Structure 1
């Protein structure tokens, strides 16, 4: 696969940008891989504190689904450990606390069971002997009301849990989690992504009913889920795509994902200086944990702040939305990727809100946050198109596109018209371009090169060379 353009790290707020550069110094991993991991960490931290509001009070989560394709040896695990360090420490603290509470609960439960058994035995005896059992009955009621509560294991990070386990957890007392993995092969080959409609619902922040035959129904309401998965390209493409790719694309899972395949740095990781900076990651971690601790103290989905765009930022968001929409039509750059393009404006809004929140900015989402989000979103659009486009010989396509362009211009000159119908190309154009898919491919290339305009009137598509003078 050809190399994509560099990730626009420079648009990040200073604290994030410094952290990315410092992790890159320590690991020499691809910048895009580090940036994707950073976005996943920020999404996990912020998703339970904020939502984002767009036009007409459309409110949505800020959770991101990130999927990064990177070969073994790209130092995925090292990057993950550096950026997630305080979150992993918190998970350990929570588990230790849960373990201690579990020991106490088991002791209390043993005592409770003995007392309950004794009172029930006495109650049965009193009833059998026709004795007054009101006192025993009241004691039993009091005991049952004080039944020791099973301790809850709080956690934010899941690796390869089953959909059932994730559902049970989100229908409990904590409704913000991340499905995070630096080696997600087990996730793509396992159970976690077996129920993609459920995963999609979590991206949407929608309500979901959990039905069990032997248990009362449970309700997942207003939960939040971040996906940040790094997987080897062969595992994803030759394994998951072949087995479930059509399903994942068909129901919109891929459309929700920010996907990329960063260029490898292997073979270029030379040590030029043994001294690297170490002051920026602690600043990033400090801000990260400030937001996470807010979520722990105020674990209430109703307390989420809904961030809105400033007037300038909203104008910029609308321009991005309209640009994406225009590229979806006719023979635009995204005409073959309409499902993905339809989610990009919302993903861009989510990224803008995350950057605003993490940077500690007050008030409405700023223009600078939206401009940064536009750059990042546009980069992910290019990556998605690059990953899912059919392999082609670029030189040949360019040459064929130029040939078709010359024919179109010649036709317009000969007929003294400023445009040509697409059906005319299919009927009278060069023989090898009369195939509909081939013509669409070449017209799309010309459109992306801004050599032609396209307009649809009724059911007819009209093509106009941009530099023709009639």
Structure 2
């Protein structure tokens, strides 16, 4: 799976903070239809994952999602020729699986006609609040039975369904979504804390490790096809999903992680994302199950899968803290300064220029820096560290990287041109 992530990064030039969560969600959507987890508490848990990725415009969100979902297209092609709207999907042998545009009524209809597993593949995240029902999505994550009462259709009951979700959203759209009561509702309802959040808009594309195969013909797609074929057999014949449980050492590792995540909540820096931290243990269980069944399907979840899952969940918690957390002033200033410095360095390389107008930063810098007071906090810190100066010197109309910053960026190559050097 890791090799496929690198291949997609090479093909699309998207960063790992975008590609990684998308690939995990696709793997989860394929696994959820064939395997559940028996938790240490004796309850069944879905392997469904919800992921949310906030990215900049032009970051290839749709391209990455489409490429990752290639292995699911064969299952959906079974719908060709389906004409009778009253025929059960089980009798036909296929059903819609990738939901790019949907309403809650439409989703209930698909489940009611026999589908047991669906994947919300939303490359336009604004649909989340425009067309879909937030409480119902929370129930999809939980694998709860569907009880839908409608004036025209009457009562619909469907048991034992699964739903995974991948939400890709542009940073400006997400910022609007989170403003006011709507943003508070998305968190308080429990929907966003159910997601493994990633803020790809804050990440830098570094050197990409080598990959072994072409992304379009990667063995990842063959594994997805095999899992979808397994699901088809279960779905047509009404067979139960397999159940995984933790190996003794994996369970011990998981319980240790639970204690460490509980300890985080004693630190005030984590209080503002408490709902995300409290979900971390469940996320690790689900993710470990996905990794195990995707790479080496067996009833026992091994310690290696659990350790990888814990590491990934911890990374997503840090992402949630960066995106949602309210930090003490000093820590906030340090994080804003680092985000601004990374952005200025990337921009200097892209445009071969070391000066950036302040109004450009307000428009185009990472979202956390687009408010004047936040930007000034970051500039104060970078000026103190000797990383930036200003032109004219008695104003902040233009932010200029210092010679030390330029040297750190490009020590062995021809110096990048200072586009304000001839104007001072």
User: Is TM-score (shorter-chain normalized) higher than 0.5?
Assistant: yes
Residue 38, structure 1, aligned to residue 57, structure 2: no
Instruction: Tell me the secondary structure at the aligned position of residue 124 of structure 2.
Output: coil
Residues 34-75 of structure 1, C-alpha deviations (whole Å, 9 max, x = no match) = 111101110110101111122221221110110100011111
Matches within 5 A, 1:58-97: 58-91=43-76, 93-97=77-81
Match of 2:34 in 1: 49
Of 222, 244, 259, the residue aligned with 1:322 is 259
Match of 2:287 in 1: 351
Of 240, 243, 267, the residue aligned with 1:306 is 243
Instruction: Tell me the secondary structure at the aligned position of residue 348 of structure 1.
Output: helix
Question: How far off its partner does 1:332 sit?
Answer: 5.2
Question: How far off its partner does 1:149 sit?
Answer: 4.6
Match of 2:401 in 1: none
Of 167, 183, 196, the residue aligned with 2:124 is 183
Residue 26, structure 1, aligned to residue 26, structure 2: no
| Counterpart-to-counterpart distance in 2, 1:178 and 1:279 | 21
Instruction: Tell me the secondary structure at the aligned position of residue 36 of structure 2.
Output: strand
Contact 2:99 2:118 in 1 (8 A): yes
Question: How far off its partner does 1:339 sit?
Answer: 1.6
Contact 1:19 1:281 in 2 (8 A): no
Match of 1:235 in 2: 173
| Counterpart-to-counterpart distance in 2, 1:68 and 1:40 | 11
Residue 161, structure 1, aligned to residue 98, structure 2: no
| Counterpart-to-counterpart distance in 2, 1:62 and 1:41 | 12
Question: How far off its partner does 1:343 sit?
Answer: 1.1
Residues 66-118 of structure 1, C-alpha deviations (whole Å, 9 max, x = no match) = 01000111111221222112323432x233231xxx1xx59xxxxxxxxxxxx
Residues 326-369 of structure 1, C-alpha deviations (whole Å, 9 max, x = no match) = 2224x355333222211110011000000000002434100000
| Counterpart-to-counterpart distance in 2, 1:346 and 1:297 | 28
Of 109, 113, 137, the residue aligned with 1:199 is 137
**Structure 1 segments unaligned to the other structure (5+ residues):** 1-15, 107-147, 399-470
Matches within 5 A, 1:222-301: 222-242=160-180, 244-263=182-201, 277-278=213-214, 281-299=217-235
| Counterpart-to-counterpart distance in 1, 2:294 and 2:252 | 22
Match of 2:113 in 1: 172
Question: How far off its partner does 1:246 sit?
Answer: 1.3
Instruction: Tell me the secondary structure at the aligned position of residue 286 of structure 1.
Output: helix
| Counterpart-to-counterpart distance in 2, 1:251 and 1:73 | 30
Could you say if the C-alpha distance between residues 184 and 248 of structure 1 is closer, same or farther in structure 2, counting changes exceeding 3 Å? Answer: closer
Aligned CA RMSD, in angstroms, stands at 2.8
Residues 238-268 of structure 1, C-alpha deviations (whole Å, 9 max, x = no match) = 23543511111112111111111125678x7
Question: How far off its partner does 1:310 sit?
Answer: 0.3
Residues 252-305 of structure 1, C-alpha deviations (whole Å, 9 max, x = no match) = 111111111125678x7999x9x9941785211111111111001111675111
**Structure 2 segments unaligned to the other structure (5+ residues):** 335-424
Contact 1:42 1:354 in 2 (8 A): yes
| Counterpart-to-counterpart distance in 2, 1:381 and 1:396 | 16
Contact 2:244 2:301 in 1 (8 A): yes
Match of 2:339 in 1: none
Contact 2:269 2:326 in 1 (8 A): no
Instruction: Tell me the secondary structure at the aligned position of residue 270 of structure 2.
Output: coil
Contact 1:52 1:61 in 2 (8 A): yes
| Counterpart-to-counterpart distance in 2, 1:27 and 1:276 | 16
Match of 1:335 in 2: 271
Contact 1:180 1:228 in 2 (8 A): yes
Question: How far off its partner does 1:26 sit?
Answer: 1.1
